[in-house]
Chain A
């Protein structure tokens, strides 16, 4: 009798123990797998919103998938740091720590915020499409396509909360 179909067989999971990641002199990420060197790989988050350190697809220089790293935390320390730095660069999502002002003109809200990357002003075109509320977490896409995140808006100061409440 044939073995029952298992979904897990579809996944080409990479064994964390056999992997090494580092950055070469071209500033490219290199994957070493079972001693084999694969330069210029790119990491793609399968769940850029909901699971940023899990299920990371690795693609080679031609865009073909090499496999999936199930959890970044299982990598060795240096590989993990290299991957984190790369992901940090690939996925630029500043976290908003304070909302200084929201000014609405012609139904376009201009936010003036303090983020972990510095002060920023941006505009949002349409409320419900560009502000995604997941419980108390808020994901924002501005008019130009930049991304911002508020991990938990109930933990911001009162004024920030009131300003955000007026928008969602």
Chain B
């Protein structure tokens, strides 16, 4: 059977797209009685280049392209068995689907880039239908022409909303309550801490709200009675005597002299202030502790999980964002947990308590006083939103300015060499002007916001003065309550404003949380199967059986690859960049799983063995050797931390690295710095070869191991590699064919297919692609030699 058939979708599965009734009515008379629709796709562009729906329909016999144009739609019909090719053309701003018969060709559908996903499977489905109608049709019906194109579209998989660049997660699908609940699950282990902090927070808030009540007692129970005595007494002396004899009844304390009562109140206020601040200190430490503990747990968990994820996770995301998840996002969460949450609790509590006290003191006045509150909320929200937008725009301008700097400053040699200083200054000036305008706009809004809020807040006081003042005059309200009201008023609006601004703060924390959980929720794609066995010591027989692989669905990178390699054989992989050589390696290491077919090592499907036991026996030397920050010895022993000193030195000698290592004053203990910056490229490569030698792998992979070396260094490395490959199955990728002179056989890969296989001499005799590559390279090297 044709192998292509296996991967193609079943032709009778009908992608359930509903056609409008009028189109169905229009098409029905065209169909033969037993003709059934097998494929229907709606597109967003018509063939005349205007936006609008159009339809592509395929039955078991025909392909119909239907274009409404006001009246009866235009219908073009192609007989399926006559189709000899189906082309997908990626154009600038749109895509086209074209079919050819042997005497005709026509574009049957245009679609915008937004429908790329919808059309991804259409050509293959169509091809399957054609093959059903004309079984002798070949496998190569579908042609895709593509130019380089921009980044793939980023839409949320659930809601289809575009995901903002700086977020990376869909803000619409964030279930904030679920996120919060999830956070609770992280704080549960620390429940005693949570409970204590909450109790302290409650006490703290309560105590903080008592001073106006003390003030009320002071006025109503001490000052006012004293004042009355003074008013009624004839002389100053009589007044003083009267006040001295006066007795004040304070709750819990017996009758007191006015001075005694005053002292009691002062002491009480002192106690309140002391305990309030002490509690505040304890609370803020406890909450910070809680936040830090949760952050620590989360950060370690995120990093641990990152290491269990497959390579494809890293390919889809940039390093910066992953690093941000571990550092900034987790940090921002902690900020929200330790500061944000307690502010919410305190603000809500404060508002509730103040409202109840006000209503207890005087319900009518309380109702009046709270009147401006909705207005304040409204204004805060509006201004907040406005400010947020302005800040965002400012942030964008700042980003533009710094990206200009990051671009130009490192290129200052070029600027000077081409004498373009003046132009660069003008560019900078223009961006600065934008920034200035933005900042001035922000300053305008900010400077209006402050006074407006102050005015609105003072409305409350005005109301107290007028309404409350009249009640005091009418003796319905005591002077003390009046003063207490004023005091509470000032404490009331700050939490209201705080809660209004909470939305943005919460939004930030929620996106951070989502990014963190995105990492935690990604399941590793490559995992051990349930019954996976440890890989026994590998002999080295490697077999690819009909391997097909796609990174993206519908775009296979490897097509039906079949070959087998004997133990100890060295295989050279040859082909243009992008032909699929590295993909073969990635699949052999099981960084990815095959889409179809299987890879066998010593007759075992590599998906049936434990991942760790497989990779332990594979050694890799890459073009860009990656050394970690640490000593030379530590880097050589990266794969075997338990290695003896003897083995480390032996491996370095085998890799021709021993000599230069001893040139370093610290020898094997020399620290390499980040990414091994203290070594040259060739030296780094030799350290990485020593690393591979020490690991003593059964399968060795050399991915362009000598690509960036000068001739002499290359010779040294080649010599070292010669030792390394002995007795091991080796796969070597190289552009310079001379590097592969030791290979037993060569596999020539072109566009994901194996096109030639054989020894150097056999392939030369075949006079195919390899022979051509060889001729070209020997010509080049002759030129180099001159």
Q: Mark A25-45, 1 if CB is under 8 A from B, else 0.
A: 111100000000000000000
Contact, CB under 8 Å: A26 / B105? yes
Report how far A104 CA is from B167 CA in the complex, Å.
Answer: 15
Chain A's closest residue to B507 (CB) is: A106
Contact with B106, one of A27, A108, A120, A126 (Cβ below 8 angstroms): A27
Contact with B162, one of A48, A92, A93, A108 (Cβ below 8 angstroms): A108
Contact with A106, one of B103, B105, B153, B172 (Cβ below 8 angstroms): B172
Report how far A17 CA is from B171 CA in the complex, Å.
Answer: 58
Q: Mark B147-178, 1 if CB is under 8 A from A, else 0.
A: 00110011100000111111100011000000
Contact with A27, one of B107, B163, B171 (Cβ below 8 angstroms): B107
Candidate in A106, A124, A141 with the most chain B CB atoms within 10 angstroms: A106
Question: A146 on the interface (CB 8 Å rule)?
Answer: yes
Contact, CB under 8 Å: A125 / B164? yes
Report how far A125 CA is from B168 CA in the complex, Å.
Answer: 11
**Chain B residues near A94 (CB-CB < 8 A):** 51
Q: B728 to chain A: closest CB distance in Å? A: 40
Report how far A144 CA is from B163 CA in the complex, Å.
Answer: 11
Chain A's closest residue to B147 (CB) is: A44
Instruction: Kindly specify which of A1-9, A67-75, A76-84, A111-119 makes contact with the partner chain.
Output: A111-119
Contact, CB under 8 Å: B106 / A118? no
Q: A6 to chain B: closest CB distance in Å? A: 22
Contact with A128, one of B154, B161, B172, B400 (Cβ below 8 angstroms): B400
Q: A81 to chain B: closest CB distance in Å? A: 15
Q: For chain A, which range describes its interface: under 10, 10 to 19, 20 to 34, or 35 or more residues?
A: 35 or more
Query: Given known contacts A27-B107, A117-B50, A146-B112, is B165 in contact with A93 (CB within 8 Å)?
Result: no
Contact, CB under 8 Å: A27 / B105? yes
Contact, CB under 8 Å: A89 / B52? no
Report how far A108 CA is from B166 CA in the complex, Å.
Answer: 10
Question: B104 on the interface (CB 8 Å rule)?
Answer: yes
Contact, CB under 8 Å: A88 / B163? no
**Chain A residues near B166 (CB-CB < 8 A):** 107, 126
Contact, CB under 8 Å: B93 / A92? yes
Contact, CB under 8 Å: A92 / B153? no
**Chain B residues near A106 (CB-CB < 8 A):** 161, 164, 167, 171-172
Question: B92 on the interface (CB 8 Å rule)?
Answer: yes
Report how far A114 CA is from B346 CA in the complex, Å.
Answer: 50
Total interface residues on B, using CB and 8 Å?
41
Instruction: Kindly specify which of B94-102, B663-671, B719-727, B776-784 makes contact with the partner chain.
Output: B94-102
**Chain B residues near A108 (CB-CB < 8 A):** 161-164
Q: B318 to chain A: closest CB distance in Å? A: 14
Contact with B164, one of A26, A92, A126, A146 (Cβ below 8 angstroms): A126
Report how far A119 CA is from B130 CA in the complex, Å.
Answer: 36
Chain B's closest residue to A27 (CB) is: B105
Chain A's closest residue to B47 (CB) is: A89
Contact with A25, one of B49, B105, B153, B171 (Cβ below 8 angstroms): B105
**Chain B residues near A125 (CB-CB < 8 A):** 154, 162-165
Chain B's closest residue to A44 (CB) is: B147
Q: B408 to chain A: closest CB distance in Å? A: 16
Contact, CB under 8 Å: B91 / A120? no
Contact, CB under 8 Å: A28 / B49? no
Report how far A92 CA is from B128 CA in the complex, Å.
Answer: 30
Q: A138 to chain B: closest CB distance in Å? A: 15
Question: A143 on the interface (CB 8 Å rule)?
Answer: yes
Contact, CB under 8 Å: A141 / B163? no
Contact, CB under 8 Å: B107 / A144? no
Contact, CB under 8 Å: A107 / B392? yes
**Chain B residues near A92 (CB-CB < 8 A):** 45, 49, 91-94, 110, 112
Q: Mark B39-51, 1 if CB is under 8 A from A, else 0.
A: 0000001000111
Q: A107 to chain B: closest CB distance in Å? A: 5
Contact, CB under 8 Å: A128 / B399? yes
Contact with B149, one of A127, A129, A145 (Cβ below 8 angstroms): A145
Question: B501 on the interface (CB 8 Å rule)?
Answer: no
Chain B's closest residue to A90 (CB) is: B91
**Chain A residues near B150 (CB-CB < 8 A):** 141, 145
Contact, CB under 8 Å: A146 / B113? yes
Contact, CB under 8 Å: A144 / B104? no
Contact, CB under 8 Å: B105 / A91? no
Contact, CB under 8 Å: B165 / A91? no
Contact, CB under 8 Å: B51 / A119? yes
Chain B's closest residue to A85 (CB) is: B49
Among residues 8 to 60 in chain A, which have CB atoms less than 8 Å away from a CB atom of chain B? 25-28, 48
Report how far A127 CA is from B392 CA in the complex, Å.
Answer: 11
**Chain B residues near A65 (CB-CB < 8 A):** none
Question: A101 on the interface (CB 8 Å rule)?
Answer: no
Report how far A124 CA is from B161 CA in the complex, Å.
Answer: 11
Chain A's closest residue to B105 (CB) is: A26
**Chain A residues near B4 (CB-CB < 8 A):** none
Q: A91 to chain B: closest CB distance in Å? A: 5
**Chain B residues near A118 (CB-CB < 8 A):** 50-52
Among residues 258 to 301 in chain B, which have CB atoms less than 8 Å away from a CB atom of chain A? none
Q: B175 to chain A: closest CB distance in Å? A: 15
Q: A154 to chain B: closest CB distance in Å? A: 17
Chain B's closest residue to A91 (CB) is: B92
Question: B396 on the interface (CB 8 Å rule)?
Answer: yes
Contact, CB under 8 Å: A146 / B116? no
Report how far A92 CA is from B98 CA in the complex, Å.
Answer: 16
Contact, CB under 8 Å: B51 / A120? yes
Report how far A92 CA is from B150 CA in the complex, Å.
Answer: 15
Contact, CB under 8 Å: B392 / A27? no
Report how far A106 CA is from B162 CA in the complex, Å.
Answer: 10
Question: B7 on the interface (CB 8 Å rule)?
Answer: no
Contact, CB under 8 Å: A89 / B49? yes
Report how far A28 CA is from B172 CA in the complex, Å.
Answer: 45
Contact, CB under 8 Å: A127 / B396? yes
Contact, CB under 8 Å: B92 / A48? yes
Query: Given known contacts A92-B49, A106-B172, is B93 in contact with A147 (CB within 8 Å)?
Result: yes
Contact with B91, one of A26, A91, A107, A129 (Cβ below 8 angstroms): A91
Report how far A96 CA is from B161 CA in the complex, Å.
Answer: 22
Q: B208 to chain A: closest CB distance in Å? A: 37
Q: A28 to chain B: closest CB distance in Å? A: 6
Q: B59 to chain A: closest CB distance in Å? A: 23
Among residues 93 to 137 in chain B, which have CB atoms less than 8 Å away from a CB atom of chain A? 93-94, 96, 98, 100, 103-107, 110, 112-114, 116
Report how far A122 CA is from B162 CA in the complex, Å.
Answer: 10
**Chain A residues near B164 (CB-CB < 8 A):** 106-108, 125-126
Contact, CB under 8 Å: A93 / B92? yes
Q: Mark A99-110, 1 if CB is under 8 A from B, else 0.
A: 000001111100
Q: B40 to chain A: closest CB distance in Å? A: 22
Report how far A42 CA is from B372 CA in the complex, Å.
Answer: 70
**Chain B residues near A123 (CB-CB < 8 A):** 161-162
Among residues 124 to 164 in chain A, which have CB atoms less than 8 Å away from a CB atom of chain B? 124-129, 141-147
**Chain B residues near A88 (CB-CB < 8 A):** 49
Chain B's closest residue to A40 (CB) is: B105
**Chain B residues near A93 (CB-CB < 8 A):** 92-93
Contact, CB under 8 Å: A143 / B162? yes
Contact with A144, one of B45, B96, B116 (Cβ below 8 angstroms): B116
Contact, CB under 8 Å: A25 / B396? no
Contact, CB under 8 Å: A26 / B104? yes
Contact, CB under 8 Å: A27 / B98? yes
Among residues 194 to 212 in chain B, which have CB atoms less than 8 Å away from a CB atom of chain A? none
Chain B's closest residue to A145 (CB) is: B113
Q: What are 26 A-B residue pairs whose CB atoms fall within 8 Å in the complex?
A: A25-B104, A27-B105, A89-B110, A92-B92, A92-B93, A94-B51, A105-B161, A105-B171, A106-B167, A107-B164, A108-B162, A118-B50, A118-B51, A118-B52, A119-B51, A122-B114, A126-B164, A126-B165, A127-B396, A128-B399, A129-B165, A144-B153, A145-B113, A145-B116, A145-B149, A147-B92
Q: A92-B92, A92-B110 are in contact. List 4 more A-B contacts (CB 8 A).
A: A105-B161, A115-B51, A125-B163, A127-B396
6 closest pairs, A vs B, by CB?
Answer: A26-B105, A118-B51, A126-B165, A92-B93, A92-B94, A106-B171
Residues of B within 8 A of A (CB): 45, 49-52, 91-94, 96, 98, 100, 103-107, 110, 112-114, 116, 149-150, 153-155, 161-167, 171-172, 389, 392, 396, 399-400
